Amino acid sequence: MQGIQANKALQTAIRITSLLIALMLLIVSQNSVYAKDTLPELKIDKLNDNLYLHTSFQRFKGFGLVASNGLVIVDDNNAFIIDTPASANDTKKLVVWLKGQGFTVKGSISTHSHDDSSAGIAWLNSNEIETYVSKLTNKLLDDKGKEQAKNTFVGTSSWLFNNQIEVFYPGAGHTIDNVVVWLPKHGVLFGGCFVKSKHLGNLADAVIAEWPDSAQQLISKYGHASMVVPGHGRTGDVSLLKSTKRLAMEANVKH
């Protein structure tokens, strides 16, 4: 009788052990799936013969998977990046792709200090590609312990890339340092993360009180733009500037 009971106890122990092993294998398998849950590949879309839209991807707590836009303007086979991709790896991929098209990458500008605009600065610096930001953006990068751009500019308006690019500071909004980039030859305004369509997004460093007036500055100066490119979401027209002002005004009422 005792032998039968001992045998049953052994069988029960074996079943429990098997269940535990199966559970552990399931957890390991799930972790393996998550480890392989890589970000989408960098996207590069041709807007016209001399202008490209690059889109990279990040995951943000509270926002999930986020696509971030940037541009590349080309002039006489020389290329200039407007906002780096959101990682050093994707920045490298973009530069490699551009070189594969026969372009020489002359530099980049980051429109503010957040990673979705500036994450590639260190890689570009290490590969002797000129990097540009506002003096304030460089200070913010330094405050965060991140690598600074090699070149800075001050003032409300600056011209780069043989006057192909105008950098304009409309005032604080998404961040205190956000600038936009005007491409007069193309009639395209890169609004970066300052420009919003459906919601204001990350407000961690936002200056909500000043955002509506800053948006009006853009409407007044670039209301004739044929295309507006936001930092996140689809390209559009000047209605994106108006939606930015409306959203900022609504946020001010709530605050």
Q: Which candidate in 54, 90, 112, 178 is catalytic?
A: 112
Active site residue 54: no
User: What confidence score (pLDDT) does residue 63 get?
Assistant: 76
User: What confidence score (pLDDT) does residue 36 get?
Assistant: 42
Q: Which candidate in 50, 89, 125, 202 is catalytic?
A: 202
* Domains held by the chain: number: 2
Please give the helix or strand (H or E) that residue 142 lies within, else none.
helix 135-143
User: What confidence score (pLDDT) does residue 94 get?
Assistant: 98
Q: Which candidate in 83, 115, 116, 177 is catalytic?
A: 116
Q: Which candidate in 90, 138, 174, 177 is catalytic?
A: 174
Please give the helix or strand (H or E) that residue 90 lies within, else none.
helix 88-100
Let me know whether 84 and 99 are in one domain.
yes
How far apart, in Å, are the Cα atoms of 17 and each of 20, 25, 27, 32, 76?
5, 12, 15, 22, 69
User: What CATH number is associated with residue 231?
Assistant: 3.60.15.10
- This prediction has a pTM of 0.85
Let me know whether 60 and 29 are in one domain.
no
Let me know whether 17 and 58 are in one domain.
no
Low-confidence ranges of the chain (pLDDT < 70): 1-37, 255
Let me know whether 242 and 154 are in one domain.
yes
CB distance 157 to 168 below 8 Å = yes
Let me know whether 159 and 143 are in one domain.
yes
Please give the helix or strand (H or E) that residue 72 lies within, else none.
strand 64-75
User: What confidence score (pLDDT) does residue 205 get?
Assistant: 97
Question: Distance between alpha carbon 87 and the CA centroid of its chain, in Å?
Answer: 9
Let me know whether 24 and 48 are in one domain.
no
Let me know whether 158 and 203 are in one domain.
yes
Q: Which candidate in 54, 83, 114, 177 is catalytic?
A: 114
Let me know whether 3 and 55 are in one domain.
no
Active site residue 114: yes
- Domain with 16, as residue range(s), is 1-37
User: What confidence score (pLDDT) does residue 39 get?
Assistant: 87
Let me know whether 31 and 71 are in one domain.
no
Task: Look at residue 181 and give its three-state secondary structure.
Answer: strand
Active site residue 186: no
User: Which among 153, 122, 149, 125 is positioned nearest to 138, based on CA atoms?
Assistant: 149
Active site residue 202: yes
Let me know whether 222 and 112 are in one domain.
yes
User: What confidence score (pLDDT) does residue 29 get?
Assistant: 41
CB distance 39 to 119 below 8 Å = no
Active site residue 174: yes
